[in-house]
Amino acid sequence: MNNAENILQKKAMLVFFSASVYTGKKKDNRGNKAVSDKFGNDESIGNFTKRILPKEKTDKIQKFVSNWRNQVLYKYSTPWLHKGETMVPVANYNILMDKEREAKVTFEEYVNEFIAEYSENKRNQEKLLNGLYQETDYLSEYKLKKKFSWNIDFYPIPDSGNLLIDIVESSFKDISSNMDKMVQIGIQNSLSSTWKKVFDAVKALSDKLKENRTDKEGNDVSPIFRDSLIENIRDLVNLLPSLNIINDPALEQARIDLENDLSGIDPDDLRESKETRHEIVQKADKILSDIGKLF
């Protein structure tokens, strides 16, 4: 095991997040038959799915889970082996768990609200379903609640040096070697994801500032953008030290460049000054060019 892997054992762990949400959808073979009767097709070539509960009610919880995964979990952790788990630096553990506990409380509030409105939503949907309504499609409130879950678990990074199994030496070496390879793949996935965060944030800034807009008199005016365009870069400057788990010097240099050249920009200055926008675009494109040379 090399130094990078040794660092991982002490400074990071794997996190697996999963959540299930009731979709409010149900297959109905009567719909298949109706389509088959109308078009003369074989019923087996398709599936008719109906919504037995209002879309906006189920989507509210699904979107919440998706937003938490994309905007929080993936912010403070990086991909591992594309099997659902991510790698979270120990430095990010407390903040991730604080946000996870808050999110779980909100998730449970949404679920309880969903259950409380279940009977009313069921009656309202019955009118829309009309002849497709079936009482047997609906679960009891007890069973319905079990369709929702929120779980987060943490595991250590695999360490072939701590592999203790009773097996022939040749097989032991194969297993140990395979574990080391998986860790190396995980490291590369993590590093690639972190570089992508940098590239995407800088590219978004550069592209937005290059947009051409004119007023009614034909004068050049600032492109429309949110302050978050700069705030995202400031967040990265603060986050990169923890995500740079193997102390990649190139990634640290990129962080320094972000801090020195981009993070201190006042968004209002960008809106007011074409010259400032041009200057920042040049700095952003220089960073993008440096990243391009690395990959």
Among 138, 157, 176, the domain-final residue is: 157
The amino acid present at 47, given as its one-letter code, is N
Q: At what angle do helices 249-261 and 274-294 cross, to 10 degrees?
A: 180
Spatial separation of the C-alpha atoms in residues 42 and 104, rounded to whole Å: 45
Residues 145, 196, single domain; the answer is no
Residues 277, 206, single domain; the answer is yes
Cα dist from 224 to 27, 143, 210, 227, 266, whole Å: 45, 49, 11, 10, 15
Residues 153, 166, single domain; the answer is no
Residues 94, 28, single domain; the answer is yes
Among 88, 123, 157, the domain-final residue is: 157
The amino acid present at 108, given as its one-letter code, is E
Residues 200, 279, single domain; the answer is yes
Residues 142, 280, single domain; the answer is no
Determine contact, residues 247/11, Cβ cutoff 8 Å. Answer: no
Tokens at residue 17, please?
Answer: 């997040």
Predicted pLDDT at 35: 74
Residues 183, 166, single domain; the answer is yes
| pLDDT tens figures, 19-35 | 999 999 998 888 777 77
What is the total count of domains within the chain? 2
Domain interval for residue 284: 162-294
| pLDDT tens figures, 193-242 | 999 999 999 999 999 999 988 888 888 889 999 999 999 999 999 999 99
| pLDDT tens figures, 94-149 | 999 999 999 999 999 999 999 999 999 999 999 999 889 999 999 999 999 999 99
